[in-house]
Structures are given as structure tokens and as C-alpha cells.
Structure 1
Amino acid sequence: MTGRYCSLTQAPAPVLTPGLAAERLSALVGGRPKWVNGTVLHYCFFDGDDDASVIHVPGSASTRRVSWVGDERQREAVRAAFREWHGLGIGISFTEVTDRSEAELRIGFQLGDGSWSAVGKDALRIGINDRTMNFGWDLTAPGERATALHQIGHALGMLHEHQSPCAGIHWDDEAVHAELAGPPNFWSRETTEFNILRKLEPSEANGTLWDPQSIMEYPFPSGLILEPEEFRGGLVPPGTLSPLDKEYVLRWYPPPDAPRPPVLVPFRSAPLRLGPGEQADFTVEPAGTREYTVAAFGDCDAVVVLFEERDGEPRYLAGDDDGGAPRNARVRARLVKGRRYFVRVRLYSGWGPGETAVMCW
């Protein structure tokens, strides 16, 4: 990734109830981008003649189309990166599909558009005919497998490591702006500020320690970092998944438990007893075909997601996120007798004296 940097765009800020307590707000900021554990993320590659951006030709009034389609070597580089992340034993799995309407992650290869990805669940806000991830240069070039690993880290909800408030980096701001304004990035000051100089909130950071070896860390040439002194001559991460990367992603997405989750019995409240960031999973095996409601209860911020088992794989059916709102998450869907469903509840935070619970009816 040396010299060419991931260029995230700023997503719309979530709408939260004013006056939230600091602890509750912190839990929401850190947890909202993360998928519920056990999710199967489906990805597809754009492959049609119409899959392209229309861009203006510099110095003229004309436009031209720039394709999003990558060749098989580029696709295989991305597949290999997905396999490497999954090989850590995380509770998230990845499946390639050809129908973009089934894909949460839709991947393009528009050269010159930079390499970037939506962060975690922000991908769900993007229309099915648009990219959630792009690779703007050759992933088969020496050292560039790190680019694919880095963007998948974003898709899992991770942010840039050098922006961690734990890093203690003192930048030469104008040197950074000058470096990124030139080739090969040609970034605006706003893009540089958002992707490099802006400090994250502690709850957004990938961990409580700065990890200069992280796959989410940029390499930097000499003269941009003033402190820590050891990096004045430059910072060159190895471009691999570091031990702290593995620790962080396994904390959010631990390996799935072997036993089948307990059955959520209709009209019977199931206590959650979760701490912030923890998750509870349940099985639903409907006795009849009808509309069912699944909801969380209690003073809590939570996300509730309902999956249907198809061909041995949980497929997303419905979900709701009540984070920061004065209500509880609730989903309603038609469940079919003889089929198996899974309910996953991830708690951001709880603040009341009462018990938090989930119920199906």
C-alpha cells in the first residue's frame, strides 16, 4: 500500500436522541458498525457492461465510462484475502454470489478511483447497483495483497489505526497535506483530514493500544510524523494481519459455539444478561406458518436480527436497531412451519435497573 492510500468517504452521522449519557453514547459509537456475530456476508463482483462510472474528461465537456469490472487475477486476490480473514476462526463467514441483490458487499475495480470500502453495516445503506468496495490499482503487484486485507478490515467494522487516540502521533500537518495532494493520491485537504489527521473517539478505535503493525495502519514516508521520534524516518507496517488485529476481530466475532442455540419459545421471555458488546443467539422453530414478532425488552440499546436457515446457511430475513432511540428493537416476519430460524441479539448497552430480555410471539 506504500504511496497509495485507502480513501474512505464520510458516512452520514447516525440520528441519536439528544442528551444521551456518555457511557451509552460511547457504546453506540463503537458498536454500530459491527455485524451481529454468526452473519454470513455475501459478496459479489461487478461483471456487466453497464457496471461503470461516468466521469468527465478533463479539459472538455465530454464524458466517458470507466468500468468496475476486474479480471480474474484481481478477483482471486480478493477471494484469497477473504479466506485469510476467515481463517482466523472468526464467527463471520464469507460466501461469493453472482446475484448482486443477495450481496451485502459489492466489489468493483475502477482504476483511478482509489481503494475504499464502506465500514461494517454502512454497506447496507448503499443501493444494490452501487459499489460498497472498490480497488483502484493492481492487487497482484508486489505488496498489494495488503490492500485487499485492509478493505475487508473496513467491511468488518475496523477503522484506520493511525487515527487512534492511543497512537499519540504528532503530525507535521502541512507536510501531510502536501504529500497527499500530489501523485498518486491527489487528495483534497478534506479527504486528508478525514483519513489521516482526524482523531477517532476512543470507542471507535480498534483497540486500547496503538498497533503500528496493524493491517489497518498506513505506511508513511519520512518527514510526516514528528512524534513518536522512532517514526520520524517513516512508518512501514508489514502488510499482514498483526496479532492485535486478530485479537480485536476475534473479540467482536468470536468463533461460533458448537451447540445449537437455545430455542426461543413463543410468548416466553428469555433473559439476556449481556454486557456491552455481547451477543445472545436463539433458534426459532415455528409450530405454524404465520406472522411472528421478535422484540427486545428493557432499558437497553440493541440490534435484533432474524435469519432463516437455507441450505444449511443462515440468510438474513429482517433486522432492527434501536441504538440511541427511545424504543426497543422489533422485527416482524412471516415464518414457515418446518423451517428453522435464528435470532441474534447484540447489546450496545443497558442502563436501567430492570432485566433485559427477548421474546417471540
Structure 2
Amino acid sequence: MSAINARPVCKAGPRVPRLFPPGLADRRARLIRQMDAQWVNGTVLHYWFFDGPEPQKQAVRDAFAHWKSLGIGLEFTETATRSEAEVRIDFDQGDGSWSYIGRDILGIANTDVTMNFGWDLTDDYGRTTALHEIGHTLGMPHEHQNPFAGIVWDEPKVYSYFGGAPNNWPRSQTFQNVLKKLNSQEVEGSDWDPDSVMEYWFPAGLILRPEQYREGLNPPGGLSALDVEWVMRFYPALPIAPRSLSAFASAPLVLHPGGQANFTIVPEETRSYRFATFGTADTVLVLFEEVDGQLRHLESDDDGGEDRNATFKVKLFKGRRYVARVRLYWAGQSGQTALMYW
């Protein structure tokens, strides 16, 4: 197979699978798997560039702005300080283009790269690449690995194609990024979107079925209608006025899976406080501090799949503004979940 028209493609960072205790209900585990890479809505993701030509940096800035222009409830802010950045971006031309998935980046040392671009981003394919890698950071996997896609591969040709230039992948990487199907419990819905920004371009001969893609799969580039629908479902525009929460006051939470509650907190005294959720629920609890008008991640806990509640202890300062966000994976009974700090 000729590699003359081959395109380099993304090699997403590996995920660490979440392990569940024996006996966890299938529905509960499925909901957690579907959402465990997603950010709490309202997160401000700070990004920082290691180095790189200004036109390439600007292409990434433009891609962040494009995602934000949809009206999603996330914010993207460039920072000049690496230690303040959750997303750390490099332009190593020898390392391909890739990104870790969603909240996995919080487990990466702040000296390390979480997103890399290995080719020019200023043409149409490059601009789609920038959108694609940011999609990974938002929690989106590769679309062709959707278990409901029904793709049947000519596997020897797939290994041969991606093993050649310009990707030069070992077999393990080709399997990880192309042939390996996502766990069906990790996928919301059953649709495959061949037009998605998260879909690869494939030449003729790699796909045996569906038959209409035997001559190749060539997504149009940019965000598809389903990409927009997906990201708006997980990150809808935030309510204008979050609820106020005082110390020792319990705030009941009645949420659907994926739903979220948001609270503003202004402590009346400076001291250490304990935050906790209560009830039979799996949640992600995140606390932000407002610094110079921007929300900075202060502390968080995720109790998904564990027989405990999300909790942490943190020092708060009198008169400063904090924001607590609770996102629900699963609740045993509606109305049996609450947030309190004391």
C-alpha cells in the first residue's frame, strides 16, 4: 500500500482503567465509566506552552476559542506560569500529535507535557488536529473505537499502514489507537459519528464493513453536529447565580446522572474546614478559589465506585470567594445526597 497520501494521526495518551470493588452494580459502574473523564462543569482549564512558533500557538488558541464559542460551561485561559496550568502544550515535531483524556491530566506531573502537536496547525488539517486534541482534553475518545460503529477492519493492512510513514507506529500503538474497541459501558448512546472531529481519516482498503467506507473514510474536518450536541450535553451553559452555602448548612442534592450542583462560599472566619457529600451516591466534589477574578482549582475528591463519600479538608480565608461544584455519577435514592462544610 502506498504511503504517498498518508496522513499523520493522533496517538491519544493511555488511560488508567478504573477498578471497581466486587459486587458493584452494572448500571452504577456503567454510569461512572461514562463520566469519569469529564470535568465538573464550570472548570477553568489553564493552558501553557512549553515553546513553539507563534503561528502554531495561535492556532491552538483559536481552537480553544472555537470550542468555547459553542457556549459550553468550561473556560480556557492561557497562563504564563507552568505550575498553574492543567494543560501543558508542546510542539515536539518528533512525537506526533496527542493528548491525555479529560481529568486524567490531573495525574500527570506539572513538569510534563499533557498535549503535543507534531505537525503544522495552520492549514485545514492542522486546525482540525488542534480541535481534535482539545476534544481529548475535554474527555472525548476516538470515534472509530466506538463499539457500536460496526467497523470490521482488514487488520493486516491496518498494521501495515500505520506501521509505515509518517506514523511509524509499533503494533501495540496501532491496536491501542485504532483496533481496540472501547468498553461499551464507557460510551454514552449507541451512535457512531463518521463526521466527528474525533474520527481519523482512513484510506481505501482498511475498512471492510460498513461497505460504504471500503474506499476510505474522509471526515469533512471541524466539529460535527453530534460533536456539538455531545459537548453541550456534558458542559451546558452554567446557571447565572449559583446557590450560596454557609458553614454547617446541609444542601440536599436531587440530581440526575451527569447532573451538577454549584455553590458559592464566603467564609466568615479563617480556619480549616471539612467538606463532604452524604448519602448513597457517587460524586465528584471540586472546590475552586476565586483569584483575581478567575477560579483556581483548590481541592477535589472523587468517590466513584467506592463505599464512601467524597470529602476533603482545606483551609479557607475569611471574606474570600470560593465555588464548590458537585457532579453526580449515580445516586441510590433521589434526595438522599447532600453537601455540607463545617
Q: Same fold (TM over 0.5)?
A: yes
Which whole-Å deviations, capped at 9, do the CAs of 1:242-292 have from their partners, x for residues lacking one?
Answer: 11000000100001112x211112212111111111111111111111111
**What's the counterpart of residue 23 of structure 2?**
19
Task: Summarize deviations over 1:105-157 as a string: whole Å, max 9, x none.
Answer: 00001112110001001101111111000011111244211110000000000
Distance change >3 Å, CA 151–CA 206, structure 1 → 2: farther
TM-score calculated relative to the size of structure 2: 0.96
Equivalent residues in 2 for 1:171-210, closer than 5 Å:
171-205=153-187, 207-210=189-192
**Residues in 2 aligned to 1:91 and 1:187: alpha-carbon distance in whole angstroms:** 36
Query: Is contact 1:285-1:340 (8 Å) kept?
Result: yes
User: 1:1-361 residue pairs with structure 2 within 5 A?
Assistant: 3-46=7-50, 69-205=51-187, 207-258=189-240, 260-351=241-332, 355-361=336-342
What's the CA shift for 1:299? 0.9
Length-normalised TM-score, structure 1: 0.91
Change beyond 3 A, Cα 1:271–1:142: closer
Cα distance in structure 1, aligned partners of 2:6 and 2:255: 42
Is the contact made by 1:17 and 1:325 (CA closer than 8 Å) also made in structure 2?
Answer: yes
Q: Which amino acid aligns with 1:280?
A: A
Unpaired stretches in structure 1, ≥5 consecutive residues: 47-68
The letter for the 1-side match of 2:270 is T
Instruction: Tell me, yes or no, if the aligned pair for 1:73 and 1:140 is still in contact at 8 Å.
Output: yes
CA shift at 1:219, angstroms?
A: 0.7
AA in 1 matched with 2:121: L
AA paired with 1:18? P
> Is the CA contact 2:255–2:334 (under 8 Å) kept in the aligned structure 1?
no
* Alpha-carbon distance in structure 1 between the residues aligned to 2:32 and 2:201: 30
Distance 1:176 1:206, change over 3 A: farther
The answer to whether the 8 Å contact 1:271/1:356 transfers is yes
Question: Tell me, what secondary structure is at the counterpart of 1:24?
Answer: helix
Residue type at the aligned position of 2:103: K
Can you list the C-alpha shifts for 1:159-215, whole angstroms capped at 9, x where unaligned? 000111221111111111111111111111111111111111234336431111100
Query: Shift in Å at residue 218 of structure 1?
Result: 0.3
Helix, strand or coil for the counterpart of 1:80?
Answer: helix
Question: Is the Cα contact below 8 Å between 2:34 and 2:188 reproduced in 1?
Answer: no
Counterpart AA for 2:17 = A
- Percent same amino acid at aligned positions? 54
Question: Residues 286, 320 of structure 1: CA spacing in aligned structure 2 closer, same or farther, 3 A cutoff?
Answer: same
